[in-house]
Amino acid sequence: MAGSDDIALLAKDMSLAFDTGAVLEDFSLEVSAGQKILMTGPSGCGKSTLLKCFLGLAVPKSGSIAVSGQPLTPATVWSLRTRIAYVMQEPDLGRGTVRQIVERPFHYHANAHLLHSVERLNELIDLFGLGIDLLDKNVSKLSGGEKQRIALIVAIMLDRPILLLDEPTSALDAQSRKTLSRYLQSRTNLTALVVTHDTDCFTFADNIVNLKAHVPGEAK
């Protein structure tokens, strides 16, 4: 087992429950720093909620969570969130132009030291196949695939050591899926936990974790 300093994400004996009942039981996951882990499972088993648990945005019914070797608690949640970039399946980018949306996080105190990352914007826009003229477009006019790519670009610019992605290729075309796959593969020091049904896209992943075995009532 890796030392605690080498474990980026840890879930131990965790259970999740919705109003309809338990959806995940006795689940444990250890992700070492730099690993790329894919997470799959039946619809409604709590995959997206599990990502939110690592951010402290959802609370498990039981079990414990640690990020970068530190237990996730009310006292540590804010500092630990600064180590994680998170991209939802259907990103809510807010209001304004794409440029405003992309630059907005870097005006927050916690990210002010990363203001230089904005210099990478044109490079990343080009990498993900988006024209520079898109920056002046209102986000309300973007397609689902464009929103996903913009959210990914912001996450990359935040330059955090852990990346949580929820179905990041669901609205992407084949070329954009390949671009994302190549990018993640190139970032050897980046830890990524990816909820996806598109496992063929990330053939380089270190492991695929199927939550089916931890879903009450599912065949083991």
Mean pLDDT value of segment 60-66? 93
Residues 185 and 165: beta-carbon distance below 8 Å = no
CATH of the domain at 71: 3.40.50.300
Q: Is residue 205 domain-resident?
A: yes
Which amino acid, one-letter code, is at 131?
G
Total of domains in the chain: 1
What's the mean per-residue pLDDT of the chain? 88
1 — pLDDT class (breaks 50, 70, 90): very low
CB atoms within 10 A of CB 11: 20
- Is the per-residue pLDDT at 4 higher than 60? no
Residue with tokens 């671009």: 179
Q: Does any domain span residue 61? A: yes
Does the structure show a pLDDT above 60 at 11? Answer: yes
Give per-residue pLDDT as tens, 145-181: 999 999 999 999 888 999 999 999 988 889 999 999 9
**Residue 44: per-residue pLDDT:** 80
Q: Indicate whether 11 belongs to any domain.
A: yes
Confidence (pTM): 0.90
Domain residues for the domain of 62 are 4-94+161-214
Position 67 in a domain: yes
Nearest to 191 by CA among 48, 85, 64: 85
pLDDT for res 131: 87
Q: Does residue 87 lie within any of the structural domains? A: yes
Closest residue by Cα to residue 85 from 176, 171, 194:
194
17 pLDDT higher than 90: no
Contact between 93 and 41 under an 8 Å Cβ cutoff? The reply is no
| pLDDT score for 5 | 62
Does residue 128 sit within a domain? no
**Is 83 inside a domain boundary?**
yes
101 in a structural domain: no
User: Is-contact 14 24, C-beta < 8 A?
Assistant: yes
Instruction: Give the helix ranges, DSSP H, for the chain.
Output: 47-55, 77-81, 98-103, 121-127, 144-157, 174-186
